[in-house]
Structure 1
């Protein structure tokens, strides 16, 4: 027995020692990967804006992926950081111009608007901006069109087909499987549950979708018309006629400047730099450039809290990429009691989620607002629950193409009794101490009384939602009800109906908060604070990242997004939801 114990504890000690050594090695490797030493961008640097990179709202530590992927950056610049880096490059003598990689664009309408504005502002420096893509998508072209020159591959081209969006409906599938969804909602435009209760878009949903999609497309045409000195009617007609089929068509109709090969574009950049052509240009990624500059200057004693709320709103702690009611409640509480924080800016990029979680966060925002200014900035989406937490701000900013509104509520149940019985041969039985003890069970249909209770719950939450908005926007509940009903609006229209105060960027919102707080020398403090590498390792971040990447590569991007959406649907049951329908994807 003693011999066994010796072997056991010796093995345990060896395992602990090995684990500690492993952690130390990983931390050392990470330290080398993300050294704080200033990066040298060299001379004749050309800043690269790769639109295929998806810019999160807040800069993210990507060390874990960078350790195992030589092509991955150790840090993923957030949108706000990317904008500030472009602004800094405007006056940086080391940066001679910007090169936009414009084949694809994985960013939303609000982010594209801010990136495009940053490029337009950068050009005022007199430095060059060149955009190139083998085949330019419309979303990529929207940003690229702000460049001095736009090129594509001679055998590539430009997608010029107009905007579209498509929903998937499961009603027929559920009928075949004999699965009966039990759906309760408030707001005639609240379309989140449509995929489960109808086989095509309702007239109300088609109406609202036509309006917001038309707004986005109209904005797109206006930007292109201004940049290319064309008129919107002619641009629209080109799409309607299917006139742009080849790179030559895009050149002939003056949508791009020329069809060129990659080497020809790089030769022009060398020419603009007035240097001899060599193997490689001094292309500098945003991530590398971020290491060479200090964007956050100012007094440590006077701060503006910048709180990024990105993702689904969920009850409790939530996961990374979600807005958990518990941590975000605590963030606002911390900002409220920190005397060095003079103002708060809330950046919202969320389709909503749990109505209860939204109300928890809303309450903390209102308490904070009593102590110091709270200004809201909307990103790509700030709708439903996302608008719930935004409506309490002293001032609300949005991009013209922000998707917002969707003031409505729904919840879902499911009756799988016939599916289990007829498809699987499974039946259920049991006992209960009261008639409603097993309400929500998937093994039986709801009773009429239970349906009344659930609809009453949804109606109650909807009324509270409207009251919160009415209070924040200083309007009557009756008026808010007339523009609510779950209807989706663009930022441009949201101003007209009073849901938003101003069109502006995140920086505009920060400037407003600073003015309201009557401060000058200040430093931005970002929340949530970034996790250390050890926290990421202990939290299983590496495992989740590897799993997600493996699934995405195996089933493809489209199928992966559908898979993610179906996972989200699981959280809709029995909890009143203030959220948008699925993902609003524009093609």
Structure 2
């Protein structure tokens, strides 16, 4: 017994000592990581005759995340620093006026962001070229998205053994009905809108005729804009580009050169030699380059940068991600968080106008209505302009429609004015597959409305349909009031149909095509401001404030993306079923991913 207690005591002491040592080591590692990460905040000195190195190997969010661990490759995070669209645009603009920056080296990028985001960056590069500085693009693999961006460059080079994708756009939809049937789950659908196809993957095995019509229309619009942009910069007839892609005439790098889509076949060392020549660097020395993410902390200033001491401000309120109740974060729109930001901007006497930046496929119709109310109240007290990103569809359009003016990119995905609800009937799964049955009592006829262990009765379905109809009526009325159109007209172009920004302009759903800076300029003009500061809302939380709230979820998401690859979209779609069960939804059919 004495020996037993001795071993137990030794084990306990060992555990305590090990825990203490691990704690001390952990603190040391954490301090080292923080020290390394925060060193990135130090001022970056840019050498003379430098190039701005622009490379995007991760999606571009609306704002640069407040994350000191970015770029360290920890916890499954991307090794590349994530830079937000706000800093991308600001840095390209700053480089245009920086005498030390002689040009831009546009390096291979995956361009995993939406087409409107790519459009914003492309337009910034076009503006940069007005300074007379050069842009050189190089890649071993050109995706269509990156080539669209690179087509503005003075010289476009590809590795002699590289890959050049140029075959047109396609949009694929994953249908889950077969899997649900095997599981014994019936998706009970209540919706309004002929084209509201968000529910189709759960009840069909292929596209409906109406959905095929709308997808053909908006994909065609996106593709036409894509070809038009390339044709203008590469000086190639648009019909010729269509023929090249349609017949897949570019299969090897030499084909891309033959059809003048690129300017040369070069290895990276040859491209670097050209950069040295253009920046007057000796061939034996290294190219002087500054990464675009690091350039944020450079000492260079923008000639148009707001260094004014004016009290007048324009507030930019960011609303990015799916719409739901609660606070939200950088990647989701919480009705409470965005509403509070709008109220704060509205009640601040120094804020003379508001720009609402919307990048959302929609979500909860209730949360969308809560935000719409705050936009309407802001509209009644001061100018509010909406700038649309990759998406401003369904709930994303709902929260935008009350603004004074709406600005979208030609390839923004918008519209999708419609409402739906999904209630699963899992009776067969429980009874036939699992052998589980249910029984109970209730005090009212509809006390168990929404129960998933049985099908809806006709009376229950009628109640839910009336609720969805009422939601759609509210939606179309809000849009009609905001756009100064009849509700009948909005209903005719609504019905859940998705439109591109170009199409939406013709329909009167947006007021002009442009970027976030155009929206800010419109806001300044409406508020009669010539001297002002930009303030951003909601305020970004520090990394350590977010650590316990969402860090583990972010790590999980990144690890799943890494493991599942393209199949992650299927996982997200299946997971989305549970979200759609909670309440009526105003969301897009699916995220548009053009290949």
Scaled to the shorter chain, the TM-score interval is over 0.9
Deviations 1:430-464, CA, capped at 9 Å, x for gaps: 11111211111111111110000111111000000
Partner of residue 506 from structure 1, selected from 509, 516, 525 = 516
Q: Does 1:448 align with 2:458?
A: yes
Change (3 A) 1:100 1:220: same
> Any conservation in 1 of the 2:57–2:80 contact (CA below 8 Å)?
no
CA drift at 1:553: 2.2
Take 1:74 and 1:335, find their aligned partners in 2: how far apart are those partners?
34
Q: What residue ranges of structure 2 are gaps of 5+ in the alignment? A: 1-11
Take 2:437 and 2:223, find their aligned partners in 1: how far apart are those partners?
52
Q: Does 1:220 align with 2:230?
A: no
SS of 1:276's equivalent in the other structure is coil
> Any conservation in 2 of the 1:182–1:413 contact (CA below 8 Å)?
yes
Q: Does 1:378 align with 2:383?
A: no
Which aligned pairs between 1:70-469 and structure 2 lie closer than 5 A?
A: 76-278=82-284, 280-292=286-298, 293=300, 295=305, 297-299=307-309, 301-469=311-479
Take 1:269 and 1:65, find their aligned partners in 2: how far apart are those partners?
28
SS of 1:411's equivalent in the other structure is strand
Partner of residue 575 from structure 1, selected from 563, 575, 583 = 583
Partner of residue 46 from structure 2, selected from 27, 32, 41 = 41
Change (3 A) 1:291 1:579: same
Take 1:488 and 1:83, find their aligned partners in 2: how far apart are those partners?
28
Take 2:350 and 2:79, find their aligned partners in 1: how far apart are those partners?
33
Take 1:22 and 1:242, find their aligned partners in 2: how far apart are those partners?
55
> Any conservation in 2 of the 1:154–1:260 contact (CA below 8 Å)?
yes
Q: Which residue of 1 aligns with 2:5?
A: none
Deviations 1:46-75, CA, capped at 9 Å, x for gaps: 112213332111121231344554996896
Change (3 A) 1:58 1:87: same
Deviates more, 1:404-413 or 1:262-271: 262-271
Take 1:562 and 1:278, find their aligned partners in 2: how far apart are those partners?
50
Take 1:574 and 1:74, find their aligned partners in 2: how far apart are those partners?
36
Change (3 A) 1:253 1:558: same
CA drift at 1:465: 0.1
SS of 1:513's equivalent in the other structure is helix
Q: Does 1:30 align with 2:34?
A: yes
Deviations 1:470-500, CA, capped at 9 Å, x for gaps: 0100111011111101011111111111100
Change (3 A) 1:278 1:538: farther
Take 1:299 and 1:469, find their aligned partners in 2: how far apart are those partners?
38
Change (3 A) 1:567 1:97: same
Deviations 1:59-97, CA, capped at 9 Å, x for gaps: 212313445549968963221221121111111111111
Change (3 A) 1:341 1:178: same
Take 2:121 and 2:138, find their aligned partners in 1: how far apart are those partners?
16
Deviates more, 1:400-409 or 1:59-68: 59-68
Take 1:284 and 1:144, find their aligned partners in 2: how far apart are those partners?
19
Change (3 A) 1:440 1:234: same
Deviates more, 1:514-523 or 1:489-498: 514-523
> Any conservation in 2 of the 1:102–1:141 contact (CA below 8 Å)?
no
SS of 2:190's equivalent in the other structure is strand
> Any conservation in 2 of the 1:119–1:146 contact (CA below 8 Å)?
yes
CA drift at 1:582: 2.1
CA drift at 1:279: 5.7
Deviates more, 1:134-143 or 1:278-287: 278-287
SS of 1:496's equivalent in the other structure is helix
> Any conservation in 2 of the 1:136–1:157 contact (CA below 8 Å)?
yes
Take 1:568 and 1:299, find their aligned partners in 2: how far apart are those partners?
47
Take 1:72 and 1:194, find their aligned partners in 2: how far apart are those partners?
34
Q: Which residue of 1 aligns with 2:571?
A: 563
> Any conservation in 1 of the 2:281–2:287 contact (CA below 8 Å)?
no
> Any conservation in 2 of the 1:33–1:74 contact (CA below 8 Å)?
no
Take 1:500 and 1:329, find their aligned partners in 2: how far apart are those partners?
22
Q: Which residue of 2 aligns with 1:545?
A: 554
Change (3 A) 1:394 1:31: farther
Take 1:225 and 1:339, find their aligned partners in 2: how far apart are those partners?
48
Take 2:21 and 2:452, find their aligned partners in 1: how far apart are those partners?
49
Q: Which residue of 2 aligns with 1:60?
A: 65
> Any conservation in 2 of the 1:377–1:398 contact (CA below 8 Å)?
yes
Deviations 1:283-314, CA, capped at 9 Å, x for gaps: 21111100014555333622211111100000
Take 2:543 and 2:329, find their aligned partners in 1: how far apart are those partners?
16
Q: What residue ranges of structure 1 are gaps of 5+ in the alignment? A: 1-7
Take 1:357 and 1:227, find their aligned partners in 2: how far apart are those partners?
43
> Any conservation in 1 of the 2:50–2:102 contact (CA below 8 Å)?
yes
Take 2:322 and 2:511, find their aligned partners in 1: how far apart are those partners?
24
Partner of residue 529 from structure 1, selected from 539, 544, 548 = 539
> Any conservation in 2 of the 1:157–1:250 contact (CA below 8 Å)?
no
Deviates more, 1:294-303 or 1:185-194: 294-303
Take 1:144 and 1:464, find their aligned partners in 2: how far apart are those partners?
44
Take 2:20 and 2:480, find their aligned partners in 1: how far apart are those partners?
58
SS of 1:434's equivalent in the other structure is coil
Deviations 1:102-140, CA, capped at 9 Å, x for gaps: 352112110111111111111111111001111201111
Partner of residue 481 from structure 2, selected from 461, 471, 482 = 471
Deviations 1:515-535, CA, capped at 9 Å, x for gaps: 111122211111121212330
SS of 1:54's equivalent in the other structure is coil
Take 1:255 and 1:68, find their aligned partners in 2: how far apart are those partners?
35
Deviations 1:24-64, CA, capped at 9 Å, x for gaps: 98467535523443211212221122133321111212313
Take 2:542 and 2:30, find their aligned partners in 1: how far apart are those partners?
13
CA drift at 1:510: 0.3
